[in-house]
Amino acid sequence: MGFLKGFRTVLLIVIMLIAIGFTVLNPGELVTVRLLFMPPLVEVNLVWVLFCAFLLGGLGGFLTAVLKIVELQAKLRDTKRSSQQLKGELTTLRNLPLDEPDRFGEESGS
């Protein structure tokens, strides 16, 4: 197992242990949640509020990452298309016949 995978696994285990510890230490904490365009939610379990906030944050990060990946894939596709076009032009230029007379030969003959 690589260092990065091991570090990621350990980090995930630590986060899970912190979340479980927080849940065990605060089983009955009730809070009131006030959102912008909704009536307040009264006496909601604190653990559920934090869990929902965590899920919404993860979902937002995931959607942002997906949009960035789609943007980068489109940019890569455009770059590949441009590269193929330039390779075609280069091949065409390489295959052009040389019709110009040899200037050095003309000057020496005069």
What pLDDT, on a 0 to 100 scale, did the predictor assign at position 29? 84
Q: What is the mean pLDDT of each run of 10 residues along the chain (110 residues)?
A: 86 88 81 90 87 91 97 97 95 84 58
* Domain region containing 45: 9-92
Is 37 domain-assigned?
yes
Is 55 domain-assigned?
yes
Contacting residues for 34 by C-beta, under 8 A, at least 6 apart: 40, 41
Residues making up the chain, counted from first to last: 110
Q: How many domains does the chain have?
A: 1
Is 2 domain-assigned?
no
Q: What is the pLDDT of residues 44-70, one digit of tens each?
A: 888 888 888 989 999 999 999 999 999
Is 101 domain-assigned?
no
The structure tokens 């590949």 sit at: 80
